């Protein structure tokens, strides 16, 4: 057996007096009780507590730890054997010192929610659900919860190892009603402190931090309730739970996966089966009168490689080989234009060739049957220029002030100039939002003149339902909408058939609207936007929200999932596996029949190109604008 530090010891190996009584009992259990499995599997990871919920005693290790029930019941269909069902106002409690690690530990369990992520709302705020909670002796608390620090924290799952030390990690985790998910968290205090959050044995967030002290767990350990904290707000787990295990080591993802496999041998298949039977369905895309597939296949390029003739040819050859039919090159990234213009300076460090690169790009792309939709990052500012269009200290960081009429006119004229001069198929609007609330002298006066109200006072208002102050919401919405409306109406008058697309995070009506004036659904219903690219770069996009948005659009615009072709692994961008790309795109093709956008060209490698061109995009298609 590995010699590991047990619960209750500080980093210098001394046992705090406060913990001695409970830990002497725990030591006797750990030394005398058999391991969970005959082969000592759990013992090697430093087991402290285990509840399989397979019999009325509830606990498997240590055997005679008392568990107090506030409601709840055993049910037969657990992830393995039986499970324990907790509905609203029900929880389990144990003595915290007897079962919880101190300086480091890992807590994990299987959870089957009785709710979906968007199922239950209270005045448009998603209901939170707490898995575990307890107090530390220094006045802080520990909580593992779906939702916390509402309003802004409501969409995320949180592991708060110690709120007083600001030691927490969080991620948006999608929960499906009546579907098992494995959740785990680990923490380590001291000089090399950190906290980690895991979903289905994969780390989804981590925060590292130095901590000079190590507190002790005190009072009750609550399973299924937030009552172990001083921020209790009736957040009940309302779920079935199974295989609750606690270890006195901060385990890694591979350790957690090994444990999951021991509990449920086919767990990896369960984890990866989010596509269900969709991929087994036939691919039956819409076709035009000539039998050609109608499907938008857009690739976004944030770089400048296309500006040179050689780079342009290489780029177009690559995306043609991959099977894309819409190319979205960034021509304004907030630091100058990437084509000749009399309205704005060229981007620094971008040398424009003798021939107009944008004109040559469009001509060559059209010869290959590829549409070009120039991409403008509207509010983004990445250079100290156009000083009259923002306040350096009071406009949101790296943003132009969308409330200033002079900036709106400049940006609209810049985009209309491209529509007028070039044979573009569409225009893509990104950063089409305020990026915050501008509090400059101009904005405060203009807000006062329009509404007779104080901008700073309305900005400080925080209603419980997650909305902004009514007048401030209108102030933000109107400024952004005026840009979208004018570009759309004047652009389509110049070039009939022009496709106006926006990149965003559209919100269904059950969620509070964007505080930055981003109202994609409203713009679409007003006829200003033809395509909404729903940005979701996760491995498993939020299709539940996507479906809600589709219902609200009701055909008023085309909604296209904009996915990523890379993953962030240990803070590095790694090109996504071709098979994962094909599975995700294949799922979207079969379920939605409109198209897909991929971000970003610079992360597209040879394997992805060959895979897409020979599988998902094997048969050529023409873009489908939905009009």
CA distance 603 to 589: 22
CA distance 561 to 504: 10
Residue found by looking up tokens 């050529």 in the block? 620
For 97, residues 6+ apart whose C-beta sits below 8 A from its C-beta are 8, 19, 21, 22, 23, 216, 217, 218
Domain boundaries, the chain: 17-261, 294-622
Q: Using a pLDDT cut of 70, give the percent of the chain over it.
A: 92
Please check whether the two domains, 17-261 and 294-622, share a CATH topology: no
Token output for 475: 């102030």
Instruction: Read off the pLDDT of residues 164-186 as tens digits, 9 standing for 90 and up.
Output: 888 999 998 989 899 999 999 99
Give CA angle at 448 (447, 449), nearest 5°: 90
Q: Are 155 and 170 in contact (CB under 8 A)?
A: no
CA 459, chain centre distance (Å)? 26
DSSP 98: H
Token output for 77: 């269909």
Residue found by looking up tokens 């709710």 in the block? 115
pLDDT at 214: 81
Secondary structure of 475-521 in HEC code, one letter for each residue: HHHHHHHHHHHHHHHHHHHHCCCCEEEEEECCCCCCCCCCCCCCCHH
For 16, residues 6+ apart whose C-beta sits below 8 A from its C-beta are 8, 10, 216
DSSP 157: E
In this predicted structure, the answer to whether residue 20 has a pLDDT above a threshold of 60 is: no
- Strands (DSSP E) found in 147-260: 157-162, 167-171, 181-188, 193-199, 202-209, 217-223, 239-247
Cis peptide before 240 (omega within 30 of 0): no
Four-CA torsion 403, 405, 406, 409, nearest 10 degrees? 110
Q: Are strands 326-332 and 371-372 parallel, antiparallel or unpaired?
A: parallel
From the list 178, 199, 205, the residue with the least C-alpha distance to 271 is 199
DSSP 349: T
pLDDT at 44: 81
Task: Give the model's confidence band at 23: pLDDT under 50 very low, under 70 low, under 90 confident, else very high.
Answer: very low
Q: List the single range of 30-39, 158-167, 473-482, 607-616 with lowest mean pLDDT.
A: 30-39
Helix (H) or strand (E) holding 566: strand 566-569
In this predicted structure, the answer to whether residue 67 has a pLDDT above a threshold of 50 is: yes
Q: Are 433 and 480 in contact (CB under 8 A)?
A: yes
CA distance 593 to 284: 8
For 153, residues 6+ apart whose C-beta sits below 8 A from its C-beta are 147, 170
Q: List the single range of 91-95, 104-108, 186-190, 326-330 with lowest mean pLDDT.
A: 186-190
Phi and psi at 490, nearest 5°, equal -75, -35
Q: Are strands 595-599 and 296-301 parallel, antiparallel or unpaired?
A: parallel
Q: Are strands 566-569 and 572-575 parallel, antiparallel or unpaired?
A: antiparallel
Give CA angle at 552 (513, 436), nearest 5°: 20
In this predicted structure, the answer to whether residue 9 has a pLDDT above a threshold of 80 is: no
Helix (H) or strand (E) holding 270: helix 267-271
On the CB side of 554, how many CA atoms lie within 13 Å of its CA? 5
Token output for 81: 């054997």
Q: Count of CB atoms within 10 A of residue 567's CB?
A: 16
Q: Average pLDDT, stretch 201-217?
A: 88
The three-class DSSP label of residue 305 is helix
Q: Are 227 and 96 in contact (CB under 8 A)?
A: no
CA distance 521 to 396: 24
Q: Are 42 and 35 in contact (CB under 8 A)?
A: yes
From the list 540, 624, 506, 537, the residue with the least C-alpha distance to 181 is 540
Token output for 169: 């990690």
In this predicted structure, the answer to whether residue 31 has a pLDDT above a threshold of 50 is: no
Task: Give the model's confidence band at 76: pLDDT under 50 very low, under 70 low, under 90 confident, else very high.
Answer: very high
Residue found by looking up tokens 């830990």 in the block? 23
DSSP 167: E
From the list 199, 225, 196, the residue with the least C-alpha distance to 130 is 225
Helix (H) or strand (E) holding 121: strand 121-122
CA distance 453 to 451: 5
The three-class DSSP label of residue 231 is coil
The three-class DSSP label of residue 20 is helix
From the list 549, 551, 564, 554, the residue with the least C-alpha distance to 518 is 549
Instruction: Read off the pLDDT of residues 566-611 as tens digits, 9 standing for 90 and up.
Output: 998 877 899 999 999 999 999 999 999 999 999 999 999 999 999 9
Q: Using a pLDDT cut of 90, give the percent of the chain over it.
A: 78
CA distance 600 to 42: 43
Mean pLDDT of the chain: 90
Instruction: Read off the pLDDT of residues 82-92 as tens digits, 9 standing for 90 and up.
Output: 999 999 999 99
CA distance 269 to 260: 12
In this predicted structure, the answer to whether residue 10 has a pLDDT above a threshold of 80 is: no
Give CA angle at 339 (338, 345), nearest 5°: 70
Q: Which CATH superfamily is domain 294-622 in?
A: Glycosidases (3.20.20.80)
Instruction: Read off the pLDDT of residues 268-296 as tens digits, 9 standing for 90 and up.
Output: 988 988 887 899 999 999 999 999 999 99
From the list 419, 311, 321, 322, the residue with the least C-alpha distance to 360 is 311
| More confident call, 21 vs 70 | 70
Token output for 155: 């969409």
Fold category of 17-261 in CATH = Jelly Rolls (2.60.120)
Q: Are 626 and 560 in contact (CB under 8 A)?
A: no
Q: Are 108 and 184 in contact (CB under 8 A)?
A: yes
pLDDT at 120: 58
Token output for 215: 């507190």
């Amino acid at each position: 057996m590995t010699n590991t530090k047990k619960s209750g010891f500080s980093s210098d190996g001394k046992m705090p007096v406060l913990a001695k009584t409970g830990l002497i009992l725990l030591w006797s259990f750990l030394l005398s009780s058999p391991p969970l499995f005959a082969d000592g599997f759990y013992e090697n990871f430093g087991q402290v507590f285990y509840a399989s919920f397979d019999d009325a005693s509830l606990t498997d290790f240590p055997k005679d730890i008392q568990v107090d029930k506030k409601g709840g019941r055993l049910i037969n269909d657990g992830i393995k054997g039986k499970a324990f069902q907790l509905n609203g106002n029900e929880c389990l409690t144990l003595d915290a010192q007897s079962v919880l690690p101190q300086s480091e530990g890992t807590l994990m369990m299987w959870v089957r929610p009785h709710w979906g992520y968007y199922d239950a709302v209270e005045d448009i705020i998603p209901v939170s659900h707490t898995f575990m909670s307890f107090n530390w002796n220094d006045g802080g608390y520990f909580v593992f919860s779906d939702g916390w620090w509402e309003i802004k924290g409501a969409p995320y799952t949180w592991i708060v190892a110690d709120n007083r030390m600001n030691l927490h990690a969080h991620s948006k985790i999608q929960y499906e009603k009546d579907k098992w998910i494995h959740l785990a968290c680990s923490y380590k205090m001291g000089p090399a402190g950190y906290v980690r959050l895991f979903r289905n044995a994969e780390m989804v967030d981590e925060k590292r931090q130095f901590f000079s002290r190590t507190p002790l767990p005190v009072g009750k350990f609550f399973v299924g309730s937030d009552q172990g904290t001083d921020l209790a707000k009736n957040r009940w787990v309302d779920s079935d739970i199974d295989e609750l295990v606690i270890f006195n080591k901060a385990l890694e993802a591979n350790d957690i996966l090994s444990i999951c496999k021991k509990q449920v041998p086919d767990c990896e298949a369960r984890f990866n089966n989010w596509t269900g039977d969709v991929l087994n369905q036939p691919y039956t895309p819409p076709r035009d009168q000539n039998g050609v597939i109608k499907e938008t296949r857009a690739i976004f390029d944030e770089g400048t490689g296309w500006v040179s003739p050689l780079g342009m040819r290489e780029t177009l050859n690559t995306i043609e080989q991959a099977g894309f039919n819409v190319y979205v090159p960034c021509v304004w990234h907030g630091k100058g234009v990437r084509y000749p213009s009399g309205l704005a300076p060229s981007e620094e460090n971008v040398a424009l060739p003798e021939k107009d690169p944008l004109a040559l790009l469009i001509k060559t792309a059209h010869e290959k049957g590829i549409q070009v939709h120039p991409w403008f990052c509207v509010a983004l500012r990445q250079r100290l220029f156009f000083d009259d269009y923002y306040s350096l200290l009071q406009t949101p960081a790296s943003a132009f002030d969308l409330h200033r009429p002079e900036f709106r006119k400049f940006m609209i004229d810049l985009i209309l100039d491209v529509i007028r001069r070039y044979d573009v198929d569409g225009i893509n609007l990104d950063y089409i939002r305020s990026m915050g609330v501008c509090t400059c002298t101009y904005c405060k006066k203009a807000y006062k003149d329009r509404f007779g109200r104080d901008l700073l006072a309305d900005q400080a208002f925080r209603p419980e339902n997650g909305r902004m102050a009514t007048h401030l919401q209108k102030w933000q919405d109107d400024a952004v909408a005026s840009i979208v409306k004018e570009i759309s109406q004047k652009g389509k008058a110049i070039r009939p058939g022009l496709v106006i697309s926006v990149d965003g995070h559209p919100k269904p009506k059950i969620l509070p609207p964007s505080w930055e004036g981003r109202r994609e659904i409203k713009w679409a219903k007003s006829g200003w936007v033809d395509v909404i690219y729903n940005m979701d770069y996760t491995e498993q996009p939020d299709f539940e929200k996507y479906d809600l948005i589709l219902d609200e659009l009701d055909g008023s615009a085309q909604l296209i999932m904009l996915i990523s072709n890379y993953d962030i692994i240990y803070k590095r961008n790694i090109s996504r596996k071709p098979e994962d790309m094909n599975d995700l795109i294949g799922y979207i093709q079969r379920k939605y029949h409109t198209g897909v956008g991929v971000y970003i060209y610079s992360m597209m490698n040879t394997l992805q190109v060959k895979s897409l061109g020979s599988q998902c995009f094997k048969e050529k298609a023409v873009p489908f604008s939905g009009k």
